[in-house]
Amino acid sequence: MNQPSAGRILSLTLAVCIIAGNNRHQVVVTGAIRVTIEEEISINCGEAELIYKPDSSLGAALRSCCAGWLGAVSALLALFLLGPGVATIACAQSSTAQPTTAKPATASTTHARAVAPAKAVAALGVPVKAYGSSNAPITMEVFSDYECPSCRNLFETTLRQMIPDYVASGKVYLVHRDYPLPMHKYGYQAARWLNAAARIGEFQAVEAALYDNQNAWAMDGNIEKYVSGAMSAAEFKRVQSQMQGCGYPGDAAVRPAAFALGAQTAQSCALDTYIDQDRALGNKIPVQATPTYVITYKGNRLPAGSGIVSWPILKQFFDSLLSQ
């Protein structure tokens, strides 16, 4: 298989989106995209992540991404159409509202750069802001604002203990939902950075960095510094490219007046869609304060709770559910 050389422009006439559902596969042919692959490319694919490295077997990468014969046939079709050494399969979820499983951050394996940022953003798919397996019996959705001290406390004291225990063992699926509050100056911008990072599979590292350094960036608004510190330079470039056009008018530190009124931000940003989707979900509950958590057990949704809950108490509740 030919390996794409650095800086080589690859023209893709078709991007094949394989949407893997339960026992069914769909092939969707989208319009043309044009990207440059310098080192390797990483694309989120539902519950898996396709990492195409120039020195790796494309077939193995495809198999890991999209199981099933239809996926393989589609991949072969793409290869015949596009020629050897030219293949990018953009796998996206059928629904943006449905969260998927996040892979642990692999800082050394994901390096890619897009020439046209807007098009690269379009190819990345929905941000994955979750921990664990979506098949877990318990789903916990946490609506939080990255500038909210209580949200940080919940993360630092409770969720950090829960993730290696109940999430890692497949008992709980933890989903983050953005609910930036107008009272927080940089909360919305932090959510944008997080969504950009989540789209390249760096959600967990960036979330930890944002909460760990909340006091610092909440003072000066320099979120970028901590996001860049949580990943490699190449990954940060990918995140930064998504953030182009996402600054607030004039001064990036000033939140748009429209946000204070609960409307869309004054300057359009592709990432705002994901934040607004989460906020719309929160308004349905309704979220009165952050953090607010919604626990669902085998499809039965419990009333929303808010405030800080300690890990021993939460664990006791999960145990009572699991002993049903």
Give Rg (Cα) of the chain.
20
**Looking at beta carbons only, is 161 or 273 nearer to other proteins?**
161
- The site that binds other proteins (CB under 8 A) totals a number of residues, namely 23
The nearest distance, CB 308 to other proteins, in angstroms, is 7
Is residue 316 a contact point for other proteins (CB under 8 A)?
yes
Is residue 314 a contact point for other proteins (CB under 8 A)?
yes
Window contacting other proteins (CB under 8 A); options: 34-42, 44-52, 266-274, 305-313: 305-313
Q: Would you tell me how many other CB atoms lie within 10 Å of the CB of residue 31?
A: 8
Is residue 305 a contact point for other proteins (CB under 8 A)?
yes
Is residue 286 a contact point for other proteins (CB under 8 A)?
no
Is residue 285 a contact point for other proteins (CB under 8 A)?
no
Is residue 182 a contact point for other proteins (CB under 8 A)?
no
**Looking at beta carbons only, is 68 or 305 nearer to other proteins?**
305
Instruction: Choose which of 14, 72, 254, 289 interacts with other proteins (CB under 8 A).
Output: 289
Is residue 11 a contact point for other proteins (CB under 8 A)?
no
Is residue 320 a contact point for other proteins (CB under 8 A)?
yes
Asked whether the CA dihedral 204, 208, 211, 215 is positive or negative, the reply is: negative
CA distances from residue 197 to 5, 55, 180, 252 in whole angstroms, order as listed: 26, 25, 17, 18
**Looking at beta carbons only, is 22 or 300 nearer to other proteins?**
300
- Residues of this chain that bind other proteins (CB under 8 A): 288-289, 299-303, 305-310, 312-314, 316-317, 319-321, 323-324
